[in-house]
Chain A
Amino acid sequence: LAKTTQPISMDSYEGQEVNITCSHNNIATNDYITWYQQFPSQGPRFIIQGYKTKVTNEVASLFIPADRKSSTLSLPRVSLSDTAVYYCLGGYPWSQGGKLIFGQGTELSVKP
């Protein structure tokens, strides 16, 4: 199982780009990296996944280097509404036989 390490917390200001890096040294060859976002008093929600290089959607971009030992979630021009906890996850239910390890997550605080 891929265990992940992320910074516990990060601070930013509105309009800035925020990059959150996750380390996953033992990720399996066939595993994707997935990221979730959790707002206060809500369940986590899936925001992006990738295998290597760069993936972009309407919420974020995900950069994964060739060695795949880390990944970086990039949030362009954050707003107050991006204040949340962000979790990275190595693999997903069907690649891991069901067992998953989320880790502590990164608490992002966006200030005006």
Chain B
Amino acid sequence: EAQVTQNPRYLITVTGKKLTVTCSQNMNHEYMSWYRQDPGLGLRQIYYSMNVEVTDKGDVPEGYKVSRKEKRNFPLILESPSPNQTSLYFCASSDRGSDEQYFGPGTRLTVT
């Protein structure tokens, strides 16, 4: 089944404790992206990647890092999480030239 998976789905952590949210797609898509969703703010892009080893900042990249060493994986790294990074995070992927993005199920992160 074609899908985008994210792990973990739920995470509660404390300020300053490094964490990684994994994202993996099995559709051989070149484009991948991370978004965060907050009440009243909709979806905001954090980072995106057009291909392996190619990443760039979206609208809200501060406090986040990403890497794209393999085509299928695009992990989101929070080196020192803070409470304002408490949010619902979505990973998405898209095939070359396609207008459609496929989204993962989301990761709900709480930073205390």
Contacts and interface: CB of A to CB of B under 8 A. Distances in A.
Nearest to A106: B42
A34 interface: yes
A104 B40 CA distance: 6
B98 A101 contact: no
Interface string A90-111: 0011110111111111000000
B103 A94 contact: no
Interface in A29-62: 32, 34, 36, 41-46, 49
B43 A99 contact: no
Interface in A58-100: 87, 92-95, 97-100
Contact of A43 (B31, B58, B98, B103): B103
Interface residues of B, number: 30
Nearest to A45: B103
A102 B45 contact: yes
Instruction: Say whether chain A's binding surface is mostly helix, strand, loop, or mixed.
Output: loop
Nearest to B44: A102
Given A49-B99, A93-B48, A105-B43, A42 B105 contact: yes
Given A44-B90, A94-B98, A98-B56, A87 B42 contact: yes
Contacts of A94: 31, 94, 96-99
B52 interface: no
A44 B58 contact: no
Given A92-B99, A99-B45, A102-B42, A43 B90 contact: yes
Nearest to B48: A98
Contacts of A42: 105-106
Given A43-B4, A44-B101, 7 more contacts: A49-B99, A94-B96, A98-B49, A100-B33, A100-B45, A100-B58, A104-B41
Interface of B: 4, 31, 33, 35, 40-45, 48-50, 56, 58-59, 90, 92, 94, 96-106
